[in-house]
Amino acid sequence: MDSHGQVEQRVVWCVVDSDIGPLLLAATREGLVSVVFHATDAVRDRAVEQLASRLGTEPVEAPGSPLLAEAIRQVGAYFAGERRDFDLPLDWSLISGFNREVLRELASTVPYGTVVGYGDLAGRVGQPGAAQAVGMAMGSNPLPVVVPCHRVVESGGGIGGFGGGLETKRKLLALEGVLPEPLF
């Protein structure tokens, strides 16, 4: 508790290796709050600064934290092909409104090995004309991989965009059997 009797927000983070490169995982007492692709030193430092600014507390590097242990285990199992679904508490505090609604719908209704179109997902949240807004929601997803924005594709068969880069999206979809593995 702080000097005013309030519970202090605690944010812990670590970087884990994955088949798509280093991922920064950050968690609060509420749950996993952030996953960041390509967590090289510069990306990691920028992500930690943004978390501090958005959450109002300095994140602490703590790879052994109990707050991160299950997320680390499940992410590792996912990339090892041993896990299809994430069962983690999530802290949704970095996203709100329409974007949160769309991401929750995605997380609960688009299973491993399947894809959904931007427009289809917009329709599922009662906004059938909001395909572009769904794209923006995917781009603002603070929990990629765990909240599977890589499963959202263009209705015409195109792969669509991706905050982690198209090669990362292709690798995630190949891991889930949606796309063939690249030949080289």
- Annotated catalytic residues are 149
Burial class (CB in 10 A: 0-12, 13-18, 19+), 129: exposed
3-class secondary structure for 51-103? HHHHHCCCCEECCCCHHHHHHHHHHHHHHCCCCCCCCCCECCCCCCHHHHHHH
Burial 67-93 (b: 16+ CB within 10 A, else e): bbebbbebbeebbeeeeeebebebbbe
**Using CA atoms, how far apart are residues 79 and 89, in angstroms rounded to an integer?**
19
Query: Which tokens go with 111?
Result: 């299973």
Burial class (CB in 10 A: 0-12, 13-18, 19+), 112: middle
3-state secondary structure of 43: helix
